[in-house]
Amino acid sequence: MDDKKPLSLINMESVSDAILEMVAKYPDFPFIASKDTILWQSIQLAIESIGIFTAPGACYLKKYITGSFIALLPIQLIYKCNPSSNSERMTSQQVLENLAIWLEKSTATFTNPQLSLTSIERTSPVFKRAAEQNGFWEYTCTLNIKYSVEKRRF
């Protein structure tokens, strides 16, 4: 029986800016990373971009009496691109694969000193999610973000 308590919305939102910031720091995007191309809970309609979406299953792994906690936040990355050949489709799929591998190896320093990244782990391979009539394709993969928040008592 799984007795993990669902993560509250406020504690889920506390990490969203940090994840968005991490993804935006990836150095090898084939497009210019900006607030218009790296998006939280959204994806651009007709330009190359990355969308970061929360997935079901966010939960507390451990809660402490001080208010500190360790949490798990599943996310889905979606890469929207416009490949025109089989070779470009394979390269596009590899872009998302490389980003996921980079995130797994990343360490992060967040602006919120209470927040620290414990681990990032891929939970699915990269696969095609959709192909649209306008030529855009979407590739996706899922990751688990494990993080902690330490509430200091003064």
Residue 3 lies in a domain: no
Residue 135 lies in a domain: yes
Domain count for the chain: 1
Q: Is 84:90 a contact under the CB 8 Å cutoff?
A: no
| CATH number, domain containing residue 38 | 3.30.2000.30
d(CA 81, CA 132): 10
Residue 46 lies in a domain: yes
Residue 154 lies in a domain: no
Residues 8-28: pLDDT tens digits? Answer: 888 887 788 888 988 999 999
Residue 4 lies in a domain: no
Q: Is 54:74 a contact under the CB 8 Å cutoff?
A: yes
Residue 14 lies in a domain: yes
Residue 1 lies in a domain: no
Residue 47 lies in a domain: yes
> What is the domain range of residue 116?
9-149
Question: Has this prediction a pTM greater than 0.85?
Answer: yes
Which three-class secondary structure state does DSSP give residue 96?
helix
pLDDT digits (tens), the chain, 154 positions:
456 898 888 888 778 888 898 899 999 999 999 999 999 999 988 899 999 999 999 999 999 999 899 999 999 999 999 998 889 989 999 999 999 999 999 877 677 788 888 999 999 999 998 887 788 999 999 999 999 999 876 5
Q: Is 30:48 a contact under the CB 8 Å cutoff?
A: yes
